[in-house]
Amino acid sequence: MKKVFGFAVAFVLLISSYSSAQFALGLGIGAPVSGASIATYGHVDSSGVVHIDKTLDASPQILIEVHRLFKMNAKYGVAPFIGFAPKIDLGLATNGAGEQPIGAGFGALLSVAAGGKYRMNVGAMWLITGPIQQIDPAWQNGFQAPRSRQDLPLDISYTIKSVNRVMLTLTVSGIF
């Protein structure tokens, strides 16, 4: 772990010694590439079968990011960034689940000059959402619910926890 951290610090120092660093703000979209849909609401029918009624889809989210750009030359640059995904419903959920939860995270991006003061940024980030209610993994859609000692189906159990996802990001900076 120390070697990885040391390499990262050396890389940033190398780039910063050959370039001018600047802060910038970007606005764009992030698309999750990890994590499946998360069951958020369901019920157990009279025969003990679990039915998931609502899920939180891994759909794209609006993203606001702040980065410190290290220019490698006039056209290209790299940057670490901090991103924020506000709670906005893009209407892309397939099952009426609605809004994605608020999230924040960090990542790295590659920036390309797009004419004038604008830059296109492509990156990857690790997003952590605010806590949301989720169905316990023991209750699977279409399967029998866990049973009590009297062999009766148990009601669905919920947990409240954050969701971690890796996201690909596409933002534009220089618009503010």
Task: Give the tens place of pLDDT for each residue, 30-49.
Answer: 888 876 778 888 999 989 99
Residue boundaries of the structural domains of the chain? 22-173
Query: How do residues 62-106 score in pLDDT, each as one tens digit?
Result: 888 989 888 888 899 999 999 998 876 555 554 444 556 788 999
Report pLDDT for 174: 83
Residue 26 has pLDDT above 50, yes or no: yes
Which residue in this structure is represented by tokens 């609502």? Answer: 54
* pTM of structure: 0.70
